[in-house]
Structure 1
Amino acid sequence: MKDICIVEFTSNLGLKEPHPGKEPGVNRLPDWLWRHNLHKSIKAKNIIRVDPPRYSSIKDPETNILNADSLVTYAREQAYLINNLISADKFPFILGGDCSILLGTAMALKQKGNYGLFYLDGHTDYMDISLSETGGVGGMIASIVTGNGADKLTNILNLSPYIKEENLWCVGNREYDEEYENEIRKSKATYLSLQKLRTQGIKNAVQSFLLEVESKKLDGFWLHIDVDVLNDLIMPCVDSRTPDGLSYDEFNELTSYLFQSQKLTGLEITILDPDLDETGQYTKDFVAAITSTFNKNFNS
């Protein structure tokens, strides 16, 4: 079994301000998870933190994206670290941050080979900048890492695309807006909305993904977990709330199959905002679920 390394990417660069003058609180997520015993529960060999450049609410005039230059600077640091960890046969267990932390990881994966991405999220995050009101990369990161959008972000170090579009599985979206869903539907990615996931069955869906990883002879796959994939009643501490979502039974079943795979290269957890969980109960429940399922199944 690979040694686990917890990596803390304390970024909120991909989100808009929740209120004028207030930064999103997701940059404090690693400390919040530490407080709720995730670090103790995951048997990690070491813990590394990389802090991002300062947050700004001003859009980049060239791309109309928030913090574009800072995201590029940060992604290069992230990629260097993740590349080294994968080269040393470590398992990066990444704690965000918002979903934009995927940018550096995806660059590192491209530098290492040809990887799949299992994008487990209550939204597709496959939005074109023209549809974005906020300019936040968090809402378009799955599209960006597959090579769509401004060169400044999609082609850092001439690596575009970091993940091939056909190697992306976008799973769990429940924002059923025609214009929003059409972006992912017209791509080469595999799109399983929450409705489709339940219709197909969790086990069948994950087995199809893992079979594809094998048949394509991919070097591995990355697991992105945005906690807003969970039902809003059990995980309301997110920036973009939507009714419905996975129960913990569904979430644990799905992740257990992925954790067992020898092809799982690393994972990231994003979007839980400590500011929105005053008692910490939602976080405690999440930590109990993810650590128990991970420890029971990881590469078993």
Structure 2
Amino acid sequence: MSGSILPARSSAPSDIALIEAPTSLGLRPLTPGHEPGCWRAPAALMRAGLGKELQPQRHVALPHPTYRFDRDPGSTIRNGTSLRAYCGEISGTVAAALSDGLFPLVIGGDCSILLGCLAGAKRSGPCALIHVDGHADFYHPGNYDVARPGSAAGMDLALATGRGEALLSRWGEPAMPLVDDLQVVQIGERESEVADYSFPDFRTSSIHKMTIESFLRDGPARAGAQALARSTGRVWLHVDVDVLDQSIMPAVDSARHSRHDLRSAQWPDPHSVGVGPAGGREYRDLRSRTRPDRSNRRAAGALHRSGLPRASDGAYIRVMSPLRFMLLAGVLISQPAASRDDVTPWTPVGIASDQFESHAAFDPATGAIFFVRSAKDFSGWRILTSRCSPMGWTQPVDAPFAGDGVEADPWFERGGRGLWFISTRSTDGVHRKDLDVWRAERDVRGRWGLPKRLPAPVNSTGNEWFPRIGKDGWLYFGSDRPGGLGKTDIWRARRNGTRGWRVENAGAGLNGPGDEYEALPAPDGRSMVLMASDGLYLTRATRTGWSKRVKLGAAINATGSEIGALFSPSGRSLMFARDLKGRRSGEFFVWHINGREAWPPSCPGATAR
């Protein structure tokens, strides 16, 4: 089942574009020479009255593609070449629907339709993903034997996030993954109950995971909140009905009994639904468009991986009710709810104060924290440090390498031997007015030496900010030097052998006509958080450079003042500072991107301010 949530606008009941995608290309034959029957699902649902119930403004029935039983000579994935072509048809149909202001509802077919759906949705702007499936669908060459043909229906989430054969994992111009891990929520996984379906690399990825147990415990509203926290305005919802127990939906190729029943979740009351999207505008009351045991016209999806027998053509009515509410949950909750659940203040006594705290860095060697404290108006920056004691964090003091100017933006190299920062400290007895990049290094005994100012062209006659080294080896920093694409841009530098440094603009994916100050590469190098004049953005690495940035949701950008981002070593959490104005001024917050982890480092005696 696959559909989309479009929180940027409200859809009238007739705004639906119903798209049938009768395909089994992504599945293996159940018996030799027999095509899996899930391609019959769209026709079965139409006979059961789905079209009459939805009354779509547009109805497109894509053809049933030819299923081949021999190996595809152009791919290691079963029917890979045909699947790429068929997903191209889905993509074009979905893109056309969105371009015409319609709500695309795609009925499969197997889970491989997700690739075409996301490719089409991305043509009209960035798109996050809610992946509802009883399995993670995370097979890729890194975790299975490629000697046998892979089946895309068991790979769709891995392929969508850029893992696996380029034929199905790279889309668009420039070719890149369909969605970043940070913008994916996977709901309903029960693979931890079955060792054969467990993927260690899925568990350690930055995809946010809600197993069927945690979904039932926390409820649909929290699931929707966490999804919208990763949203950039549009969310594609993909649902595989094998998330249901086989006593409810037996007609799937991966049916099994579960200890859990999706119907036991606390679903919203369909007769009292009012939707408040991220943009703040209220949707019309959906009460008049919601009836028990029928598919809601806005919150509908598409069954897939189900070979519904003709005798069970009406079975979709039994499963549509909980799945309909799952769709509604994604748009029901507001961004403040997401903030409560996923973004929490970090205000330990000794660190938090009535001044402005920002730009934290934790010493990987000692566990001490280095951070910037400034006046409430964010002036007079100084780098302070505090260590954990039995009584909590110690009183912050100047960094051991402190100079006579304003100093900020500390960042530790991996291992902690070197620390990068910016400063206006004096050089050769002359006090500088512009901020430059500096690096301090400590010896094997842990004693800090005198910091060194980086030479030109890294430093310029203008200001430099926020030096950070990415996994790609580039030193990223902000600068207002001439030659940029806007006012202040992100630049990057790399050592050029023994001849100094090579410096270049980081490109249009990161930079626009306004101000961009800070670029923080993720630990795995696949994405980057960017601070511009109006808040934090996300971009990702592609073969041709960084993708066009997308702004993080209102759960993160609550005031537009968010600065000084820092990833945890795992990349699963992000710390940043936010200006709360008034007495509290700037404070630290932590976004738990992928569930709670033991970070920031705890200090046993510390308490919150």
User: Whose helix fraction is larger, Structure 1's or Structure 2's?
Assistant: 1
Moved more, 17-26 or 155-164: 155-164
Who is 2:51 aligned against? 39
Equivalent position amino acid for 2:144 in 1: L
Who is 1:93 aligned against? 105
Who is 1:131 aligned against? 144
- Give the CA RMSD over aligned residues: 3.3
Query: Quick check: 1:5–1:44 contact (8 Å CA) kept in 2?
Result: yes
Structure 1 residues 228, 71: closer, same or farther in 2, change over 3 A?
A: same
Equivalent position amino acid for 1:272 in 2: S
Q: How many angstroms apart in 1 are the aligned matches of 2:270 and 2:165? A: 32
> Which one scores higher on RCO, CA 8 angstroms, separation ≥ 6?
1
Equivalent position amino acid for 1:21 in 2: G
Is residue 177 of structure 2 the alignment partner of residue 161 of structure 1?
Answer: yes
Equivalent position amino acid for 2:242 in 1: D
Q: How many angstroms apart in 2 are the aligned matches of 1:175 and 1:42? A: 34
1:213-292 equivalence runs, <5 A: 213=231, 218-244=232-258, 245-250=260-265, 253=268, 260=275, 262=277, 267-275=301-309, 278-280=311-313, 282-287=315-320
Who is 2:166 aligned against? 151
Deviations 1:235-281 (A, max 9, x none): 11100122215433539659999995757998543122124x74445
Is residue 190 of structure 2 the alignment partner of residue 174 of structure 1?
Answer: yes
Alpha-carbon distance, 1:209 to partner = 2.0
User: Whose strand fraction is larger, Structure 1's or Structure 2's?
Assistant: 2
Alpha-carbon distance, 1:286 to partner = 2.6
Q: What SS does the aligned partner of 1:237 have?
A: coil
Structure 1 residues 153, 211: closer, same or farther in 2, change over 3 A?
A: closer
Alpha-carbon distance, 1:24 to partner = 0.9
TM score, norm. by length of structure 1: 0.85
Alpha-carbon distance, 1:39 to partner = 1.4
Query: Quick check: 1:223–1:266 contact (8 Å CA) kept in 2?
Result: no
Query: Quick check: 1:174–1:242 contact (8 Å CA) kept in 2?
Result: no
Equivalent position amino acid for 1:209 in 2: A
Q: How many angstroms apart in 2 are the aligned matches of 1:72 and 1:159? A: 14
Equivalent position amino acid for 1:205 in 2: A
Who is 1:206 aligned against? 224
Q: How many angstroms apart in 2 are the aligned matches of 1:273 and 1:282? A: 11
Moved more, 115-124 or 55-64: 55-64
Alpha-carbon distance, 1:59 to partner = 2.9
Q: Give the count of matched residue pairs.
A: 294
Q: What SS does the aligned partner of 2:230 have?
A: helix
Structure exhibiting the larger radius of gyration computed from Cα positions: 2
Is residue 203 of structure 2 the alignment partner of residue 185 of structure 1?
Answer: yes
Equivalent position amino acid for 2:98 in 1: I
Who is 1:27 aligned against? 39
Q: How many angstroms apart in 2 are the aligned matches of 1:265 and 1:235? A: 20
Q: Which runs of 5+ in 1 are unaligned?
A: none
Equivalent position amino acid for 2:76 in 1: N
Alpha-carbon distance, 1:127 to partner = 1.7
Identity %: 26
Q: What SS does the aligned partner of 1:270 have?
A: coil
Equivalent position amino acid for 1:197 in 2: F
Q: How many angstroms apart in 2 are the aligned matches of 1:237 and 1:227? A: 9
Q: Which runs of 5+ in 2 are unaligned?
A: 1-9, 279-297, 333-609
Q: What SS does the aligned partner of 1:172 have?
A: strand
Who is 2:379 aligned against? none
2:90 maps to which of 78, 83, 91: 78
Alpha-carbon distance, 1:64 to partner = 2.2
Query: Quick check: 2:219–2:266 contact (8 Å CA) kept in 1?
Result: no
Is residue 134 of structure 2 the alignment partner of residue 122 of structure 1?
Answer: yes
Equivalent position amino acid for 2:30 in 1: P
Q: How many angstroms apart in 2 are the aligned matches of 1:103 and 1:255? A: 31
Q: How many angstroms apart in 2 are the aligned matches of 1:274 and 1:80? A: 27
Alpha-carbon distance, 1:101 to partner = 0.6
Q: How many angstroms apart in 1 are the aligned matches of 2:321 and 2:189? A: 24
Who is 2:60 aligned against? 48
